[in-house]
Structure 1
Amino acid sequence: MPTNLPMFSPVTLLLSFGVALLLSSCGPLFDGDPGPGDERRTLAQGYTPCNDFPDPSRGVICHPSQYCSSQILSICHNGCLSQDNCSHEQFCLKTGSERVGTCVDHATYEERRRGEDLEPGYTACGDPDNPSRFAICHPSQYCSSDYFGQCSSGCLSEHNCTELQVCIKEAGENVGTCQHAGNR
């Protein structure tokens, strides 16, 4: 009895079988519920993928307090671009118009914004309730804009210098430089 079924060459059948096998081993093509044997998993807060792999749990992973500066080269740098780069106990603190911030512990931030637990020479600057307008000025810096939380080089008094330094100002100048106390 003749049938009208098309005849496929052995090469076509072999290629079709190979493609079907390859596609079945790739796993799901769309996001959805992971199936049995699916190794994908969610990354913990602060861990971010830094690669071009479709599965974020494989390849280079930046740790909390790091951000991915190049997906193509898989390079992690210290700092944060957003809360995604910090752990649950931290948040991303950026000062002024900086693009890269620092992951700061919530408790440490609360102490600093109240002016507590600051080393000599470090001063709070700006609105402590607005992280984008708050900064901690380092020794040899003073708060030049309390509104924007901006620090500038120099000193207004010894509060902007370390314990071993004094603020030296030229005659008629408001801003000086921190110098070692023995260099007067």
Structure 2
Amino acid sequence: MKKILTALFLVLSLLTYSQIADKAENISPLLIGEQIPNIVVYDVLGKPIQTKTIFDKKTVLVVYRGGWCPYCNAQLADLQELESDILALGYQIVAISPDAPRFLQQTVEDEKLNYTLYSDSKGDFSQAVGIAFAKSKGKLDKYSEGQNPGFLPVPTVYILDSNSEIQFLYINPNYTKRLDGKVLLAVLKSL
């Protein structure tokens, strides 16, 4: 009986961590007070790294659609302009997208970014935090190098403490609406 209950719990846990909503408006994101799960993502060289290693300090985490998205690039550039202020407040900046590692490097170079980008091309991270929604593969296949199972993340900004706990989040299914940098700085100062 114990084995059956353990197996059932494992299956339910996997279902919780593998959700892709049918559309952006139907996602079920992790909320303030919840902890970011430990998931493997990939650095710009394609090396796997666990999120518990990345989020072991206070973090401004941006999950974006990809380097092909002009709204995402504007947001990443805005963060770069605020980087010194964010660092002075004791936070690191991390960005995650479905782009394959080599496309991350291109984004870093094109946008002249100093902070770290990670790849979630298989969607494990976006699904685990509940922000993935179904999208036809088309362009996604190119930028994920065929890894993308047919999803995009709803653009999200999380502020995490050093225990990966969510202190603040901004999420909007309308990908054209992004958190203003001045508002982000105000939130960081209030935390």
TM-score of the two chains, using structure 1 as the length reference: 0.24
Q: Could you say which structure has the larger radius of gyration?
A: 1
Length-normalised TM-score, structure 2: 0.23
Structure having greater relative contact order (Cα 8 Å, sep ≥ 6): 2
